[in-house]
Structure 1
Amino acid sequence: MKKPVRLTLFALTWPIFIEISLHMLMGNADTLMLSQYSDNSVAAVGVANQILFLLIVMFGFIASGTSILIAQYIGGSRERSAAEISVVSLAANFAFGAFLSLLIILFDEWILKLMDIPLELLSESSFYLTFVGGFLFVQALIMTTGSILRSYGHTKDAMYVTLIMNIINVIGNYFLIFGPFGFPVLGVEGVAYSTVGSRIIGFIIIFIILLQRLPNQLPFKELFSLPYSHIKNLLKIGIPSAGEQLSYNASQLVITAFIAMIGTEAITTKVYTQNIMMFIFLFAVAISQGSQILIGRMVGAGEYEQAYKRCIKSLKISILLSIVMAVLFSFFSKQLFGLFTNNPDIISVGSILILLTILLEPGRSFNLVVINALRAAGDVRFPAYVGIVFMWGIAALFSYFLGIVMGFGLIGIWIAFICDEWIRGLIMLKRWRSRIWVRKQFVSSKNGVDA
């Protein structure tokens, strides 16, 4: 069997970086274009997206397991098993996505009322949540297909597809939000149509690319006869990984409910701030994903020392870039907020939050890089357990105490975020240095047997 081509972090990371940037631009394009329509519409879509992101993370437990297993199988020279995992994961996430889409359609208003969102946001939030949520299964397929391509080293393909989706989404937004040339002015409704339309077209394109990249390798016809162990291993990696991400997003959902207690303006400020912050930590996200692929292959090949050094080196790069970007954005925070709104209170509070991001983002780098490294090595339960304890015990609890009880508002909530990221991140680094993960991998390259 031919040995897989040796990949570099840079070759993997720069397309991932651009792809993530484009994903963020898509969200920011929605926010920026809607901000010219109505601040309340921005808040309505922001609340609905908080719920949708929570569900999308649940698709991630299949996509995450897929990426790690494919990387370990390729590193262990087991290409047939890698192809089988690809097919099983696509089928599993389609079924799971369809189930969650149905739940959203049935319970959208109940979920929004449970969050106690302001009454003036309910109608627009409900429509956006129902329509976009009803097509969540398409996003599940896009995520899984993208994970497969990236794990095989085809990171540029997902980047190009994301670019096409962005172009379609922005054009759709322009016509359906502002109504030029006689088109109807639809606002939030128009954003929902553009989002779903761009995702459907994006999936069709990325799936065709997958079939072209791996011709005659993916055993779709054998789906129901593939080994049960594939599902078992996907769940063994994916459920704890998703548990950590699910806990994070669920805690953020609760914190959003706390912010809703402060008022609609606070929700809008949070949405604008986090849209800007995304561009600060995207370097860390890209580095962590590229490192995960490399470390997974190294672990699958039994190259544990190389895997250890790769994580530490990636972490140092990520922290440095995060600090530089946070400082840079803090200098121009008022101008950046001015792109979204002319409300002086939103700009003032948001600028303070961006300043606090200089402390927040290095801590986030620890979690992004080291947790993905631990997952790639098969050590998936520990990050999930620690995450659940600290996201709720520090992030959520202290957000309520500092933000609501003590009356510090969004600034108090950001301080809680900083404490959570740093404490949890340092614990993850200690875990990596302990090298316990050496005994956790799912694939043995020596005997070809799944762990």
Structure 2
Amino acid sequence: MIFSSIRGDFLRRLLAIAIPIALQNILFSSRGLVDVIMLGQLGESEIAAVGVAARATFVSTVMLVGVTTGGALLTAQYWGAGNRQGVRESTALTWLVSTSFATVTALLFILFPESIMSLATDSAEVTRLGGQYLQITSVSMYAIAMVSSMAVGLRAMHKPAISTFFSAIGICSNVFLNWVLIFGHFGFPEMGISGAAIATVLSGVIEIVTLYGYLYRKKHLLAFRLNDLIATVHWSKVKRFLKLSLPTTFNFLMWSGGLFVYHSIMGQSGVQGLAALSVMTPVESISLSFLIGVANASSVLVGNQLGAKDFDKTYYQAIGLTAFCVLSGTVIAVLLYFLQIPVLNSFAALTPETRELAEKFITILSLGIVLRSFPMAAIAGVLRPGGDVKFCLYQDLCAQWVIGIPVTAMMAMIFHVSPEWVYLAFLLEDFVKWFGSTLRIRSKKWMRNLIEADL
């Protein structure tokens, strides 16, 4: 019953949505990887600085993704119910709320860049360089909010390839502009880390202009107008959106903030440990991209089924989808382990000691991919589509802030274990989530129709 529910047409639809989303995640992660690789030609301070700054922007990015999650859940169920106007208005409301949150994060990066950097490192050079990067890239938060708002709507309509195509334009622009501005080509001065930041902003502008230009020129369903925005500013609609979005936004904010705390804990081991972790961050993001794609695709399909009130099929598909994600995670982990040498060869400026540490980190990361595959699929692909956002919040808070972070901090600051053991301790929270997520899925309490439910 379980595997018969995900074979055939369902599996084809899953992969048709998952693969474009995975590609988009790879392209998004590649922005950070491109910055690290190109700046890695300059030195370990630049690698560490952009790694810490990228983790700070990641916290804000994840928060914005959390804001758009409310829209994603509603849009998927509206589409499953055949309500096209609901899809359009939900997308408009997602855009309005996410751009408001982007303003807050942009102001924080503009006003307090070095204070944010100093949370993760006591190196004056790393703090100075990272502060420059954060201040310039602050306005790119608007690009993330505006692109994400449309991306979740396109996913709900089973058209993720559209936003993926324009993300490809954005990353190609970023690579080219990095080459021009970091190293000084076509008459531009060598701008180093500031050049990478400017390239990030400009490539974001290019992605917005091309994506929105396409949607409005084609008169796409998601190309909302002012009257759609006005229609969404109704308390009952905003209340429903916020009841779904705010717990998830807080959940994502606390989770990504926890990742920044992990980064800070590793920073206590010095620039070497921080540089090795900064290399792992984009490698990890790219390695997990397919699993994120499967989880997001699962979210769309599970949401569609719940919107159509097909609860029995939804339950068995949820179990099959999580099993598929674990199998995929195992394959990806094996590939990463055997490809680690060419991956690490891309970072030319690493010292032999840091390179050796990074090799140990990749072995641990391979284990981590398998360990994270099930919780990722269960939380993002099954529980949240049913509106089970509070359970996801409480589980993340407990696993990360009550168990994971205190244990990791104790190992690093009290017992002073080596950096690879600190990195291994990062995985403890995922181990905890296996148990909580399994019990919650089996309870069936997460299966709700959000359009009609009294939230």
Q: Would you say same fold, with TM above 0.5?
A: yes
What's the offset of the Cα at 1:387? 0.3
Q: Provide Cα deviations, 1:128-152, integer angstroms capped at 9, x if missing partner.
A: 1111013312221111121112212
Structure 2: stretches of 5+ with no match in the other structure: 1-8
After superposition, residues 212-361 of structure 1 pair within 5 angstroms as 212=218, 214-215=220-221, 218-226=224-232, 227-341=234-348, 342-361=350-369
- Aligned partner of 1:81 in structure 2 is 86
Q: Quick one: structure 1 residues 216 and 105, their matched pair in 2 at CA, closer, same or farther if it must change by over 3 Å?
A: closer
Letter aligned with residue 389 of structure 1: C
Moved more, 196-205 or 5-14: 5-14
Contact 1:338–1:347, Cα closer than 8 Å, also in 2: no
C-alpha distance in 2, partners of 1:297/1:216? 18
- Aligned partner of 1:161 in structure 2 is 166
Moved more, 6-15 or 62-71: 6-15
What's the offset of the Cα at 1:116? 4.1
After superposition, residues 20-419 of structure 1 pair within 5 angstroms as 20-211=25-216, 212=218, 214-215=220-221, 218-226=224-232, 227-341=234-348, 342-372=350-380, 373-419=382-428
Contact 1:89–1:144, Cα closer than 8 Å, also in 2: yes
Letter aligned with residue 118 of structure 2: K
Q: Quick one: structure 1 residues 216 and 313, their matched pair in 2 at CA, closer, same or farther if it must change by over 3 Å?
A: closer
Q: Quick one: structure 1 residues 265 and 213, their matched pair in 2 at CA, closer, same or farther if it must change by over 3 Å?
A: farther
Q: Provide Cα deviations, 1:78-119, integer angstroms capped at 9, x if missing partner.
A: 222221111111112122212321232122222223444311
Which gives a bigger RCO, structure 1 or 2 (Cα 8 Å, sep 6+)?
A: 2
Partner SS for 2:122: coil
Q: Provide Cα deviations, 1:199-239, integer angstroms capped at 9, x if missing partner.
A: 01101122223332625973532423433222112211111
Contact 2:88–2:228, Cα closer than 8 Å, also in 1: no
What's the offset of the Cα at 1:54? 0.9
What's the offset of the Cα at 1:61? 2.4
Contact 2:25–2:286, Cα closer than 8 Å, also in 1: no
C-alpha distance in 1, partners of 2:295/2:228? 33
Contact 1:69–1:85, Cα closer than 8 Å, also in 2: yes
Partner SS for 2:410: helix
C-alpha distance in 2, partners of 1:47/1:273? 12
Letter aligned with residue 223 of structure 1: L
Letter aligned with residue 168 of structure 1: S
C-alpha distance in 2, partners of 1:135/1:38? 25
C-alpha distance in 1, partners of 2:35/2:222? 39
C-alpha distance in 2, partners of 1:371/1:149? 21
Q: Provide Cα deviations, 1:327-370, integer angstroms capped at 9, x if missing partner.
A: 22222323321211342212211111221223322221122111
- Aligned partner of 2:14 in structure 1 is 9
C-alpha distance in 1, partners of 2:136/2:177? 16
Percent sequence identity over aligned pairs: 24
C-alpha distance in 1, partners of 2:142/2:170? 16
C-alpha distance in 1, partners of 2:92/2:184? 42
C-alpha distance in 2, partners of 1:352/1:343? 15
Partner SS for 1:437: coil
C-alpha distance in 1, partners of 2:222/2:56? 38
C-alpha distance in 2, partners of 1:280/1:192? 24
What's the offset of the Cα at 1:409? 3.1
Structure 1: stretches of 5+ with no match in the other structure: none
Letter aligned with residue 220 of structure 1: L
Letter aligned with residue 383 of structure 1: C
Partner SS for 1:182: coil
Letter aligned with residue 230 of structure 2: F
Letter aligned with residue 297 of structure 1: N
What's the offset of the Cα at 1:410? 2.5
Q: Provide Cα deviations, 1:367-426, integer angstroms capped at 9, x if missing partner.
A: 211101111011111010110111112221121122332222322222222221021133
Contact 1:104–1:130, Cα closer than 8 Å, also in 2: yes
Which TM-score applies when normalising by structure 2? Answer: 0.92
Partner SS for 1:200: helix
Q: Quick one: structure 1 residues 412 and 125, their matched pair in 2 at CA, closer, same or farther if it must change by over 3 Å?
A: same
Moved more, 27-36 or 175-184: 175-184
C-alpha distance in 1, partners of 2:181/2:72? 36
Q: Provide Cα deviations, 1:45-94, integer angstroms capped at 9, x if missing partner.
A: 11111111111222122211111100111112222222111111111212
C-alpha distance in 1, partners of 2:53/2:342? 27
C-alpha distance in 2, partners of 1:208/1:90? 16
Length, aligned pairs only? 442
